[in-house]
Amino acid sequence: MPEETAQPVRGRMRRLLSGLVDLAGRRLSVVVLLLLCLISSAATWREQNPITKRAGAAVARQVLEVCPVPCEVLVVVRDTAVDRAFAAAIERGLAAAGAPIAGRVFGQPRDVRLEFERIARAGGSVDAIATHRIASEWGPVRSAGAPVVAPGSYSWPTFLTPRNLLNVVNQNADIAIIALGMTLVILTAGIDLSVGSLLALAGVIAAVTAQEWFGGAAASPAGLLAAMLLGVAAAALGGLLSGTMVAAFRVPPFVATLGLMMLARGLALILAVGHQRRLVGGGAEGTPEAVRVGAPAFAWLGNGSALGVPNPILLMLFLFVAAHLLMTRTMFGRYVYAVGGNPEAARLSGVPVTAVLLAVYCLCGAFAGLAGIVDASRFEGGRPNAGELYELQVIAAVVVGGASLAGGRGRISGTLIGAMIIAVIQNGLNIAGVASYEQKVVFGALILAAVLLDRLQPKIASRRARMTRGSTSTPVQ
């Protein structure tokens, strides 16, 4: 084109821009997620106080500047692994310069006071205190009279700290896991309201069987695994039940799963209260408290981690890949889309519609059960009240992720992004200090907006199609 030779830079810029716009259009949920992360970062721009080896070495150098050798230094930190590493770095720095250590405190403010009293009794003195920002605010440190050296703070978004980012994903791993199953159900134009209750039922069954059948505190890892599998199986069975209602008896999914929701919650409460009653030796009434699992290994799935990544996140990623492959690479995946797009057409073209629906609800139940096991493991016990209102968060994640409630349209990857969008909004609002009342408003409005746009979608699409037709019919110059 002649235009390009005349203004090559502008042309290239325009192409680049249109390419970006195109990419953004196709992957907008990703862009939204990144944007939300950006906003969360801006809203949580705070002073950060390092407690690292490097900060420790810097503190040692600064102490030597403030008070040259010989200088009696008191090192004050809390009794945690991170603090101890920080303190060790300070001591290494001081030892290299030959500065004597007057004392060290690994503990609480009270311990600092006692240490000062000990030093005073022994006739010693403290010329400087090396510590971190948090302990520098402790009363005995502030009133010591000696110069206090703590690492300088720097500004960085709290949202973007590794600990917080892992928190965000970890806290919502259960929602994301259930959302994978829910995506399948919603793809068939169905809905599953029972997921929160199935989560609780699975957790309680795993906890009660671990305690009563598999040895309680002395349960072997195999016994705990069996208990967990029983929980997941129960939830899958629940899903199969609502699937049967929907597929074989044509009960609307909303009603079938509403019934199961109450049924499963009731069962979870009955099992938990029954267990508590047996614990106190019958007679007295049990309370609907968490059923505690004594075996420490039970907490591995929920609270353990590998290479610094919490196990629930690893499980979520594994299930995500599995569900993604299932939906994109297998015949079953194509069947699910076909059933959701047009069940009659699917039936006529030989898709086993009933079997597909049964499998979809059963899978959704199993995913809810897995989330229940994660929850029970996290709290070291099955909670009969767990997962209340989870169905709403899960459906919100799926819908925000781009699936259509009318069925046939949506992707597993979209759901994962949707779950993360909800997670980031929640976390961002939390650490930005927005009160819970306003958070409820955001979530309600977000779901309404997503569903409303789902409704408007055909209209927008047809208008867009008309516009495209219009532009192609005019000759291009």
CA gap 238, 259 in Å, rounded: 11
Write down the least CB distance from residue 441 to other proteins, Å.
8
Which one of residues 59, 60, 74, 112 is an interface residue with other proteins (CB under 8 A)? 112
- Nearer residue to other proteins within complex by CB, 46 or 347: 46
| Contact status, residue 411 vs residue 403, Cβ threshold 8 Å | yes
Write down the least CB distance from residue 317 to other proteins, Å.
20
Question: Crossing angle for the helix pair 412-431 and 28-43, nearest 10 degrees?
Answer: 10
Residue 297 in the binding site for other proteins (CB under 8 A): no
| Cβ atoms within 10 Å of 182's Cβ, excluding its own | 26
> Per-residue x/- mask for other proteins, residues 398 to 427, rule CB under 8 A?
--x-x-----------x------x---x-x
| Contact status, residue 184 vs residue 360, Cβ threshold 8 Å | yes
The H or E element spanning position 156 is strand 154-157
Residues 34-53 that bind other proteins (CB under 8 A): 35-36, 39, 43-44, 46, 48-49
- Nearer residue to other proteins within complex by CB, 240 or 386: 386
Give the amino acid at 95: A
Contacts of 239 (CB under 8 A, 6+ apart): 192, 194, 198, 361, 362, 363, 364, 365, 366, 368
The H or E element spanning position 299 is none
| Binding-site size, other proteins (CB under 8 A) | 87
Write down the least CB distance from residue 409 to other proteins, Å.
9
Write down the least CB distance from residue 83 to other proteins, Å.
6
Which one of residues 299, 314, 317, 326 is an interface residue with other proteins (CB under 8 A)? 299
| Contact status, residue 199 vs residue 365, Cβ threshold 8 Å | no
CA 224 and chain centroid, separation: 24
Residues 343-402 that bind other proteins (CB under 8 A): 375, 378-381, 383, 385-386, 388, 400, 402
- Nearer residue to other proteins within complex by CB, 52 or 167: 167
The H or E element spanning position 462 is helix 436-473
Residues 220-279 that bind other proteins (CB under 8 A): none
Write down the least CB distance from residue 380 to other proteins, Å.
6
Residues 63-82 that bind other proteins (CB under 8 A): 78-82
Residue whose pair of structure tokens reads 């309600």 in the numeric block: 444
CA gap 256, 259 in Å, rounded: 5
CA gap 162, 88 in Å, rounded: 23
Write down the least CB distance from residue 436 to other proteins, Å.
4
| Contact status, residue 158 vs residue 43, Cβ threshold 8 Å | no
CA gap 243, 360 in Å, rounded: 8
Residue 22 in the binding site for other proteins (CB under 8 A): no
Residue 25 in the binding site for other proteins (CB under 8 A): yes
Write down the least CB distance from residue 246 to other proteins, Å.
26
- Nearer residue to other proteins within complex by CB, 330 or 457: 457
- Nearer residue to other proteins within complex by CB, 359 or 412: 412
- Nearer residue to other proteins within complex by CB, 194 or 393: 393
What is the greatest pairwise CA distance in the chain?
97
Residue 462 in the binding site for other proteins (CB under 8 A): no
Among candidate residues 20, 24, 27, 19, the one with its CA nearest the CA of residue 417: 27
Residue 109 in the binding site for other proteins (CB under 8 A): yes
48 pairs with which residues across the strands? Answer: 154
3-state SS assignment for residue 102: strand
- Nearer residue to other proteins within complex by CB, 263 or 299: 299
Residues 429-458 that bind other proteins (CB under 8 A): 429-439, 441-442, 445-446, 449-450, 453-454, 456-457
Residue 284 in the binding site for other proteins (CB under 8 A): no
Contacts of 92 (CB under 8 A, 6+ apart): 56, 57, 60
Give the amino acid at 129: I
3-state SS assignment for residue 297: helix
Of 158-166, 232-240, 242-250, 362-370, which part binds other proteins (CB under 8 A)?
A: 158-166
Residue 468 in the binding site for other proteins (CB under 8 A): no
> Per-residue x/- mask for other proteins, residues 161 to 190, rule CB under 8 A?
x-xx--x--xx-------------------
Residue 313 in the binding site for other proteins (CB under 8 A): no
